[in-house]
Structure 1
């Protein structure tokens, strides 16, 4: 599409340029013919009699040399006065021998380069144009400058009066602009008509996309074939994104409902036990009061964990969390996480194995956050499988440190595997032990990514799951 569109555009531009150039040549020739015809006689006379160059070339007749003394005739002086000119005569050595009406500050001695400068450039002032002539007297040759003080007089290849040139240019430029504009307008009209018709359809399609009308399907033909194809593709992608957005919104609403329920349940317990404990009608024993206090503490800690998950997830997602990295032995950290998990009375009977390639593997990391990520991943392997699951945790040293968490549990479906790290997602295998925010896996992934690491999950339904982390 790019080459076709560019080719047509270039063809139209070339056509316009050719027509404009031809028309300009015709207009220029006509203008020159007319100008030459009307000015021929006057120009010819002026060229022969009164032009600056003609005056200079014949002025040697007005120079008188006698007894090594120089002067000019009265006729020559009158001619110089008439044309507001001056003369300076030099000998072969560049020394001034005579001057008439010389401007103030003019040189009296010239080197050859000075003579060239005087003739080639305006060395006197911006209003004076200097011409050079010569006179032979016996065996000696004399040169002379004649300077014409006339700002309208210019010396190039030809000599012309700027006022006449400006007049001709003004008239000619107006005619040329009119003709060129008409040519460009005619060619541009037919070219733009071919281009703008499909563009109108594209603009209408883009307007519909902007209004969230994603059911657009153009036939990809013509010079804009690729554009139509990409608009169709964009429409398809936007439809898919809108469908995904609605699905995410529904999942978010479901997650909010679940979290709200999970928060209300411990709050209700805390409130209920607190009301019972403060009611004077009840006379609880010390053991009962401790039991109630333990329940309140456990529910409070649960609420704290959920709130911390929400806060941490938001900060990680918005990159607002500052990492406090230190050189830490990752083997010791992961081993302690495994030990702490097994020391939890809820998971004391679980079958967990820990292995490592080196006793010390130091990694620059935020120890608290990495501990949180590993804990979440191990916790996920526990709560999504039955009591008989075997979990193996290992740390290996390589080009990058690798941490693996493997289990031989239920595994996951493909659709679950694709969404395991999504915020607000809870898998279908979640058991009663998993009453949290639903952000554990997303938080773990965000922590690993924040450290510049990678996390991958492989799972086969009925055969278990393997999580690999590289730091």
Structure 2
């Protein structure tokens, strides 16, 4: 998988994770908001919003009644009290019960309290439940300031006014159509008319309107007295604790919940940004430093202070955050190795060229010095040379000039081949006859009169498309190289073979062979296996020219050699 595909999958997984994390945070925040809103409603009106939950939480385990302690505490928060009584009215368990509440209820007493048939300072709610063999009554009560204020107003308005004013309440009398008949302490912003629908909402959902409502209906006149009051300081305004804050309304709960979601999103994005910079940005920074180092000819991967590679772990494997760029790392590593090898090859090439130039200068200077010397002798007036001596001097001058011309032609030829500017005139040639005539023309070798050559033709005719001028040069270079760099009397065996894949020319000698360094550099320009001080035939270009000539004929050249067992050079021409 390429880096682009890995990055695509990385970002898909990342955004999928972010989406799931955000969704979870929204769900958690929403659940939190709902839970705190229900808790606030229970604090405001436990009888309507919490009593049913408390009843459902009652169970019997091992013959003992069990309940939800959190809901029991909610009873205290709401300002109420709770009793659990049996079917006879005897109280079994009680929580936060004032002293003026009975410990056992008579037959009609509890019903009278519930329906306010007898005076009682609390609003009382009861729920009957059968659990197995148990028949229990859950009795919840809370002090109803609103009802007492309304009762006080109906009995004696003048005495009730200070209490109503202190509680921030106001009273209103409306007729059967909801029109305002009279009122006291009513805010100016309150409309005079009220509908049955609105009165039911305000009486049933006090927590949503932020005020308590009490009313008294007169069936004879059809009029209704309504008392409305805010959650007073005397009966402390209900609140819930959310994120360490005291919240008194649903709006505050939603604001804190949404704020928590936004904060979690910012934290998540900050974490993802840090993680992204570590996983994506840090490797890129390392690669850029590496590339910059390579531009300054420092090809090795940068290391940290302790000398370890930044991209590798202790086991020598790519670190997790670098694996996404494994192909980039591999490409840089390969490029680094090739640049190091290229630098090493270039330095070696420069050394070989300097050595070759020194040798070539010597090779040109030596015959040139001979030519100049013999020319001075011929032109010297103090000597009276015979015709035979003049002919000898002329022949030596010609030989040295031809040697210089050969070196210059080799130099020119290698650069023509390097720039692909060598004109080729290839013709179809039968190789058995042609090679037979060429190899025998190589003898005798002036530097080695005992040199021998053996030719093994192919049993069937072999046709190759060659330029005979340059192919002769390649054959001559290989054979002469074998004779020049081996002892006198070295035998070169030339063979031609052909199969379905192509044609092979083999040049095998029985000389001393070559070491590893000579094998690696044999076809390098400027490399000379021996000093030209020992012969006038070595130029350091012969085998490099041979390789280029064979490749110009669409062929391949290879060499095998072993010290003491001779050398084999192979020309191979695949079938077109």
The bucket for the TM-score relative to the shorter chain is: 0.5 to 0.7
- Please say if 1:382 is aligned against 2:470: no
Gapped regions of structure 2 (runs ≥ 5) = 24-265, 304-308, 313-317
**For residue 116 of structure 1, what is the aligned residue in structure 2?**
none
Q: Distance in 2 between matches of 1:353 and 1:5?
A: 65
Query: Tell me, what secondary structure is at the counterpart of 1:352?
Result: strand
The aligned runs of 1:205-244 (5 Å cut-off) are 205-216=290-301, 217=303, 218=309, 219=312, 220-225=318-323, 226=326, 227-228=328-329, 230-244=331-345
The counterpart of 2:547, out of the listed 433, 445, 448, is: 445
TM normalised by structure 1 equals 0.60
**For residue 277 of structure 2, what is the aligned residue in structure 1?**
193
Q: CA deviation at 1:10?
A: 2.0
Structure 1 residues 431 and 391, CA gap change in structure 2 (3 angstroms): farther
The answer to whether the 8 A contact 1:19-1:183 is kept is no
The answer to whether the 8 A contact 2:532-2:538 is kept is no
Q: CA deviation at 1:238?
A: 2.7
The aligned runs of 1:151-166 (5 Å cut-off) are none
The answer to whether the 8 A contact 1:423-1:442 is kept is yes
Structure 1 residues 236 and 349, CA gap change in structure 2 (3 angstroms): closer
Q: CA deviation at 1:207?
A: 0.5
Larger relative helix fraction: 1
Larger Rg: 2
**For residue 6 of structure 1, what is the aligned residue in structure 2?**
8
Q: Distance in 2 between matches of 1:260 and 1:306?
A: 10
Q: Distance in 2 between matches of 1:339 and 1:272?
A: 36
The answer to whether the 8 A contact 1:361-1:397 is kept is yes
The answer to whether the 8 A contact 2:458-2:496 is kept is yes
- Please say if 1:335 is aligned against 2:436: yes
Query: Tell me, what secondary structure is at the counterpart of 1:223?
Result: helix
- Please say if 1:306 is aligned against 2:390: no
- Please say if 1:465 is aligned against 2:567: yes
Higher relative contact order structure (alpha carbons within 8 Å, sequence separation ≥ 6): 1
Q: Distance in 2 between matches of 1:359 and 1:288?
A: 53
**For residue 61 of structure 2, what is the aligned residue in structure 1?**
none
> Residue by residue, what CA displacement relative to the aligned partner does 1:164-212 show, whole Å, maximum 9, x if unpaired?
xxxxxxxxxxxxxxxxxx9999798456423212311221121011111
The answer to whether the 8 A contact 1:383-1:434 is kept is no
Q: Distance in 2 between matches of 1:250 and 1:263?
A: 20
**For residue 373 of structure 1, what is the aligned residue in structure 2?**
474
**For residue 511 of structure 2, what is the aligned residue in structure 1?**
409
Query: Tell me, what secondary structure is at the counterpart of 2:375?
Result: helix
RMSD: 3.0
The answer to whether the 8 A contact 1:16-1:187 is kept is no
> Residue by residue, what CA displacement relative to the aligned partner does 1:409-454 show, whole Å, maximum 9, x if unpaired?
1001122112111111111487823543211111111111111111
TM normalised by structure 2 equals 0.50
Query: Tell me, what secondary structure is at the counterpart of 1:445?
Result: helix
Query: Number of residue pairs matched?
Result: 312
**For residue 86 of structure 1, what is the aligned residue in structure 2?**
none
**For residue 265 of structure 1, what is the aligned residue in structure 2?**
366
The answer to whether the 8 A contact 2:414-2:541 is kept is yes
Query: Tell me, what secondary structure is at the counterpart of 2:477?
Result: helix
Q: Distance in 2 between matches of 1:199 and 1:467?
A: 48
The answer to whether the 8 A contact 1:306-1:436 is kept is no
The answer to whether the 8 A contact 2:432-2:458 is kept is no
The counterpart of 1:324, out of the listed 397, 400, 425, is: 425
Structure 1 residues 334 and 434, CA gap change in structure 2 (3 angstroms): farther
Q: CA deviation at 1:234?
A: 3.7
Structure 1 residues 437 and 242, CA gap change in structure 2 (3 angstroms): same
The answer to whether the 8 A contact 2:363-2:532 is kept is no
Q: Distance in 2 between matches of 1:332 and 1:398?
A: 19
Query: Tell me, what secondary structure is at the counterpart of 1:406?
Result: strand
**For residue 176 of structure 2, what is the aligned residue in structure 1?**
none
The aligned runs of 1:10-409 (5 Å cut-off) are 10-14=12-16, 189-190=273-274, 192-194=276-278, 195-216=280-301, 217=303, 218=309, 219=312, 220-225=318-323, 226=326, 227-228=328-329, 230-358=331-459, 360-399=461-500, 400-409=502-511
The answer to whether the 8 A contact 2:452-2:489 is kept is yes
